[in-house]
Chain A
Amino acid sequence: MPLDQSFVGRTYPPTAPYQVGREKIREFATAIGATDPAHHDPEAARAMGHPDVVAPPTFPVVITMAASRQLIEDPALGIDYSRVVHGDQRFAYSRPVVAGDELVCVNTVEDITSRGGHEFLTTRTDVSTTAGESVVAVWSKLVVRGEA
């Protein structure tokens, strides 16, 4: 079933706030082998001018991937997730994510195209604090592979 083109431009309601924990940043940094003290030691992060430990650049995917369930589980949009592969990913940061942030995601469907029997869904997720400060804009392109 093709994706519903009328979803292009649609914005979903904000997700519930995600509380960025110091231990989650440490866990993520450890998993990717990022040993810089600013990811682990609040004093090192404060010395760089941050309120608490700094997340590595791709950390926001932890939050946006959970937030994308809004689209993936929307039966009206019609994504067959078993056929999805990750196409593109981009982050544009206003500032790094830091422990203590309370972040809300707003998902927008930017583009739906079809080529070579596959469908391409581009989403933008605007991640901001509950106080309204923009933190990072995240683009993902998902490829829904056609039936072989």
Chain B
Amino acid sequence: MELPTQTFRVTRADLIRYAGASGDFNPIHWNDRFATTVGLPGVIAHGMFTMAFVGRAVTTWAGSPDAVVDFGVRFTRPVVVPDDDSGTEIVVTAVVREVTEAGLTRLDVTATCLGEKVLSQARATVRTTG
């Protein structure tokens, strides 16, 4: 079963806010000058910010903010965030892989930006009963 697609917009201002809230001040997430010197096309989103959006998608699908039992991803491609007011967009989809007798639902998640997958092996297990 395929779950409803969810989209998340991310701008430079969002990256600054996430840096402050998470404590991850790596300059590749806010400084174009630095990002390009280490070979990136420009400022990129924190991988953990992308994972947080996927977490929101998963808890929304599960219908509860405390339903996640297991959650893992591999970061495969950077999310480049342009220096403008609209930023970029991360699109999150998922399919239900398994529903266990113990009331757990296993999801295979896909996250893309500009049509390219930014995560692989993205999986979540959520509690769907009780």
- Chain B residues with CB below 8 A from A50, complex form: 66
Q: Of A71-79, A89-97, A108-116, which binds chain B? A: A89-97
Please determine whether A56 and B59 come into contact, CB atoms closer than 8 angstroms.
yes
Scoring A36, A54, A58, A92 by chain B CB atoms within 10 A of each residue's CB, the highest score goes to A58
In the complex, the chain A residue whose C-beta lies closest to that of B19 is A31
Interface size on B, residues (CB 8 A): 32
The number of residue pairs between A and B whose CB atoms lie closer than 8 Å in the complex comes to 99
CB of B115 to closest CB in A, whole Å? 22
Of chain A, the residue at the smallest CB distance from B72 is A90
B37-68 interface mask toward A, CB cutoff 8 Å, 1 = contact, 0 = none?
01000000001110111011011000011101
Identify the stretch in A9-17, A60-68, A99-107, A123-131 within 8 Å (CB) of chain B at 4 or more residues: A60-68
B24–A57 contact, CB under 8 A? no
- The answer on a CB contact under 8 Å between A48 and B66 is yes
Most buried by A among B21, B53, B66: B66
- Beta-carbon contact of A66 and B23 below 8 Å: yes
